[in-house]
Structure 1
Amino acid sequence: MAMSQALSEEEFHRMQAQLLELRTQNYQLSDDLRKNTAELGALRQKNGLLERDLVKAQKALNKSKKAQEVDALLSENEMLQGKLHSQEDDFRLQNSTLMTELSKLCTQIEQLEKENRDLKQEGGASISSPPPNSASSPMDGELLRLQAENSALQKKMKALQEHFDRELQRQTVAHGNQQDATETDGSAGANGESDVSGEGSVGDSAGERGEKIQLQHRDKELHELEMALNTEQEEKRLLKEQIHSLEASKQAEVAKLQEEMMKLSDKLKKKQER
C-alpha cells in the first residue's frame, strides 16, 4: 500500500514536472508564435512596399520602353518621309521625261500618219506634201516635170495621130479618084495619051515620094514620141515603186513608234501604281 502510494507520488512529481515543462514549452512556443506573427506582419508590409515599388518600376520601365519605341518610330518615320520625298522627286522627274518623250512620239506619229494619208490620197502620183516652212524634195520636182512632159507628149501624139489618119484617108480617096479618071480616059490618042500619062506619072511619082517622105518623117516622130512615152511610163513606174517603198518604211516607222509609246505608257502606269 505504501509502495503504491510512493509510486503514485513519484508519478505525480514526474507528471508535475512534465506539466511544468510542457507549460514552459507552451510559453516559449507562444512567444515564438508572437515573434513569428510580428515578423510575418512586418514581412507582409515589406512585401507590399516591394510590390508597390515593383509596380512603379515596371511602369517607369514601360514608359521608358515606350519612349524609346516612340523615338525609334519617329526616327524611322522621318527616314521613310525622306525616302518618300526622294522617290516623289525621282517620280516627278521620270514622269516629266516620259511625258516629254510621249509628246514627241505622238507628234511624230501624227506627222507620219498625215504623210501616210497624203501618200494614199495621191495614189502613188506624188509624194506627200512636206510640212510648212520646208523645201520640196527633189523627187517632187522630178515627178512634176515627168508628169508635165507625159501630158504634153500624149497631147502631141494624139494630134499627130489624128493628122496622120486624116492625111492617109485623104490620100486614099485621091488615089481612088485618080484611078477612076484614068480608066474613063482610055480611048484618047496614043501619042497624046503617052505624053499626058508620062507627065502625070512623073508628077504622081514626085508627089508620092514627097508624101512617103512626110509619112516616114511622121512615123519617125511617132516612134520617137512612143519611145519617149514608154520611157516616161517606166520612170513613173519606178517612182511609184519608190513611193510604195517609202510608204512601207513610213508605216513600219509608225508601228515602231507606237510600240515605243505603248512601252512608255506601261512604264508610266507602273510608276503611278508605285
Structure 2
Amino acid sequence: MESLTALIFDPTVWMALITLVVMEVVLGIDNLVFVAIVTNKLPEHQRALGRRIGIGLALLLRLLLLSVVAMIVQLTQPLVVLFGHEISWRDLILITGGLFLVWKATAEIHHTVDPEPTPTLFDRQTKSVSFGAIIGQIILLDLVFSIDSIITAVGMTTQIPVMMTAVVIAVGIMLLAADPLARFIERNPTIVMLALGFLLMIGALLIAEGFGVHVPKGYIYTAMAFSAFIEMLNMLARRRHKTKNGGQQTDNPLSA
C-alpha cells in the first residue's frame, strides 16, 4: 500500500504514465485501423460487437503479457542466426505478423479494386469470411502489436502498475474511437484504399524490424499523417465540386 501511495505522489511516475499512454495510443493506431477495416466486412448488426470484442481482446492480451513481463523480455534473446542476423522469438513474431498484414492488405486491395472479378483464391477467402474468422484475424494482429508495445513499454519504465494503467487508458481511447473511425472509413471509399496502403506499409515495416532493419516510426507516422491530410483536401475538393454541380456527381472510390 505504501509503495502504491509513493507511486501516486511521484511526479516522474506521472510523466512516465503520460508518455506511455501517448506511445500506446500511437502504436495502437495500426491495430485500430485493421479492426475498423475487417469488421466493416461483417453484417451491419455484427460490426460494433466485432470491434468491441477485438479491442477487448487487445486489452486482455496486453494485461496478460504484462503479468508475465519477465518472460516477454526473454523473447528478445537470440534464437537462431539467419542471413548473418540473430533472430529472436520477437523477431519471428514480427515477421509472421508482417507477412500476414501484407497478405491481408493485398487481398483487401484486390477486392476493393475489383469487387466482382473472375473467381480466384482472394475472392473465395473474402466471400467465406465469417464472424469467427474476423475475430481470429484480429487476435493474430492483437498478439503481434501487443508484444511489440509491451516490449517497448518495458524499455521506458519498470513499474508494472504504471504500464497496466497506461494500457487500460490507451485501449479505452481506442474503444471510443473505433466506431467513429469505422463509420468514417465506410462512408469514404477512398479512405479505405489509403488505410490499406498504411497497413501494407506497416506490414513491410514489421518484416524489416524482424530482420533487424530499424526504421524510426516517427518517419512512418509523419508520412501517414501527411497522406491523410492530402486525402482530406481531396475529399473537400470533391465535395465542393459536387455541390457546384448540383449534387449530380458521386464519389468514385478510385478517384484521386
TM-score band, normalised by the shorter chain?
A: under 0.3
Give the TM-score, by structure 2 length: 0.24
Structure holding more helix per residue = 1
